Chains A and B, each alone.
Chain A
Amino acid sequence: MISQLIETPLCWVMVVTAWFTYQSIFISLGKQRRDSMDTQDSASNEMIPNVLVGALPLMGLLGTISGLQLSFTGMMSQGIDSQLVTKGIADALFTTQLGLVLAIPGWLLMALANRKRSPSLLQNRQGA
């Protein structure tokens, strides 16, 4: 698994994206705790991790497609039993799994942030 993770560049991209997404969610969580932000600012802050968390499984799908493409190309050029075919299929399955595994904590953290934000928004409106 680790060798697959290191060899495929798409996996690197996914890991880095996931890290960045988690970080931005945590930052927004911390800001909410301090309660020192505008509502408009929070909306724009929330959008980036939202999009990125949605993009993670899609990146996994992209890896699946490219892996299948690799395997079919290998089938075409080197026969069904070639190493290229098995490598392509392994990549295809692995990237999908990675995308979903990375997206699930992101979704959970997003849900947590949304739940914390809505009471604070209500308090802001009542204060105004």
Chain B
Amino acid sequence: MVTRTSSFLLSGLVLAFALGTMWLGQLLAESSDTTVIVRNVDMLVTTPPPPPPVSQSSQTDPTLDIQVKGAGAQLMVSEIVVSPTLDIDIPTMPEIDTTFLQWSLSDIDTSAFALNELDSTPILLTPIKVHFPKRLKKQGVSKVLVKLDVLIDEQGNVELVDIVENPHHELNKEIVRFVKNSRFTSPSKEDAAVKARFIWPVLIEA
């Protein structure tokens, strides 16, 4: 029991010694730079040194005597006479014949009829097969509604004029492909086959 208490005290002593050493070290480190001595420094203003004396050095320019014998260079003078009058033909005004005007119109608009002008709406004959892009599938897109401006000729062949509405441009190639392959019933107006142009909405599903 005696050894236990004595060892307890001894160990406390050692601990205190270690901590004290540390504390002392920090105390010394802190106290070393606390005093700041401010010294008054007197400045002695000295007069600036006199400028160095300017030495008067006289410099004589060497005179150059050049004597050239002979008559010197000759200058040729030629007389140029400029006539002040100029003969310029006044151009005549080009005559444009405005009586014959040939308006070049694309044959798309001339003979194509809208849907409401036709006897009946053309019916799609071929099935639409669209390869849905995987990238769109990965983005979680399963349905895309595109609106196509199409022109259908008298035989029912489809020509894609424009893609009016398409939120995903990855589908553009597929749209061009399936439009080329699709076929309608020939549009008719008053029992005559005509061209038709209309907006064709297509719902593409994955």
The chain B residues found within 8 Å of chain A, CB to CB, are: 3-4, 6-8, 10-12, 14-15, 17-19, 21-23, 26
A18 touches B7 (CB 8 A): no
Complex contacts, B6 vs chain A, CB 8 Å: 26, 30
Q: How far is the CA of A85 from the CA of B26 in the complex (A)?
A: 21
Q: How far is the CB of A61 from chain B (nearest CB, A)?
A: 17
Residues of A within 8 A of B (CB): 1-2, 5, 15, 18-27, 29-31, 97-98, 101-102, 104-105, 109
Q: Are A101 and B21 in contact (CB under 8 A)?
A: yes
Given contacts A22-B10, A22-B11, A26-B10, whether A101 and B19 have CB atoms under 8 Å apart is yes
When distances are taken between beta carbons in the complex, the residues of chain B under 8 Å from A101 are 18-19, 21-22
Query: Which residues does chain B contribute within 8 Å of A1, judged by CB atoms?
Result: 22-23, 26
Q: Per DSSP, are chain A's interface residues mostly helix, strand or loop, or mixed? A: helix
Q: Which residues of A contact B19 (CB under 8 A)?
A: 5, 15, 101
Residue in A15, A20, A23, A105 whose CB lies within 8 Å of B17: A105
Smallest distance from the beta carbon of A49 to chain B beta carbons, Å?
Answer: 10
21 contacts between A and B (CB under 8 A): A5-B19, A15-B15, A18-B15, A18-B18, A19-B12, A22-B11, A22-B15, A23-B8, A24-B7, A26-B7, A26-B10, A27-B3, A29-B7, A30-B3, A31-B3, A97-B22, A98-B22, A101-B21, A105-B14, A105-B15, A105-B18
Known contacts A19-B12, A102-B15, A105-B17, A27 near B22 by CB under 8 Å = no
- In Å, the complex CA distance between A39 and B145 comes to 91
Supplied contacts A15-B19, A104-B18, 8 more A-B pairs, CB within 8 Å: A18-B18, A21-B11, A22-B11, A23-B8, A25-B11, A26-B10, A26-B11, A105-B14
The distance from the CB of A86 to the nearest CB of chain B, in whole angstroms, is 16
Complex CA distance for A104 and B6, rounded to whole angstroms: 21
Per CB-CB distance, the 7 closest pairs between chain A and chain B, nearest first, are A22-B11, A26-B7, A30-B3, A23-B11, A101-B22, A27-B7, A26-B10
